[in-house]
Amino acid sequence: MMQVALKDFTQGQSILDLGDVRAIFNYGSLSYMDASNVLEFATDHVRSINKSKFVSKATNIGGWTVLITPYVRDGVQRSELETRNSIIVAEALLSALNSPNMVYEMVYENIVELSPIKTSASAPVFLAINQPPNLQPSALQLLSQSSVNLQALPENMRNRVNLSLRWYRKSSVQGLDGFLSIWIAIEVIGMPDTSNIRPAIESLAKIYQLDYRTAVNRFQLGRIQDFRSKIVHNGQMFPIYSLLIEYLDAIYVDLLMETLNLPHERRAEQVLNYPQFDLGKFINQI
């Protein structure tokens, strides 16, 4: 459920096409088939499926995002991985360019076969994010434009952006996994020359209208890359503060919006200006 009220749906139900995924934003209650209780385990640990517990349920009344993508397109059946990756990329676009709350995490997953009609489902998972979604027409237009611009990129760049979005989506977890996931997302979208950090810094310098050396000192990506290397290559473990992941999240969104030729929002600057965030102090602890 999104953190929105009925008054936020000024246009009623909104439908947005993001490549091969259709996003529907609706206020009300959703009916779905629930499979969260169908698995049963006997005393000998043998798993069985109790079909009687595959039941119809309804959500609470509220704001919901529904993402729909086809398994079969133009008569060709896609793999489950390809289909799920389409959803992940759409989730990441909505999260990065609007609000993580817009894709609060999966409440249910239903797979519908149309001929003959058959429905299967998977269990729900919840993740709470406080930032409310923006459902104003201008915000939805930005999402729509992001998809158009993404599809217009050369194939190799489009593939890199899609891959980076999938890693961005994985970074919603805290700790080392979240840190490494968001760093990989930054590396995929901002570093075309293996692990050379310079292109990403040059992009940030362009976004913030800084010279290269000033951007190096302001954003400290090189030092953070050293931190990542100590974890990955030396096996050193460090406490990962949530604000560091939030900062790298903002760096990623800045690079994403630059790549998709969208208006700059200077997200990293906003995090750097947090009174409680001291990047220099963190860097000096590495």
* Bigger pLDDT: 45 vs 251: 251
Q: What's the confidence (pLDDT) of residue 127? A: 41
Task: Quote the pLDDT of residue 121.
Answer: 66
Mean pLDDT of the region 195-218: 94
Q: Alpha-carbon distance 10 to 25, whole Å?
A: 12
pLDDT of residue 129: 44
pLDDT of residue 89: 92
Residue 285, Cβ density class (10 Å: 0-12 exposed, 13-18 middle, ≥19 buried): exposed
Q: Read off the pTM.
A: 0.75
- Give me the pLDDT at residue 249, please: 94
User: Out of 107-116, 122-131, 258-267, which region has the weakest mean confidence (pLDDT)?
Assistant: 122-131
Minimum mean pLDDT among 37-51, 225-239, 254-268: which range?
A: 37-51
Q: How confident is the model at residue 232 (pLDDT cuts 50, 70, 90)?
A: confident
- Give the per-residue pLDDT at 142: 95
> pLDDT, tens digit, for every residue of 34-92?
887 777 777 666 777 788 888 888 989 999 999 999 988 788 888 887 888 899 899 99
pLDDT band at residue 216 under the 50/70/90 scheme: very high
Task: Specify burial of residue 158 (Cβ count, 10 A radius: 0-12, 13-18, 19+).
Answer: middle
Of the listed ranges 19-23, 86-90, 111-115, 258-262, the one predicted with least confidence? 111-115
Sign, CA dihedral 230-231-234-236, equals positive
Supply the pLDDT for residue 123: 45
- Residue 166, pLDDT > 50, answer yes
Does residue 106 register a pLDDT over 60?
yes
Residue-wise pLDDT for 129-154, tens only, equals 446 788 999 999 999 999 999 999 99
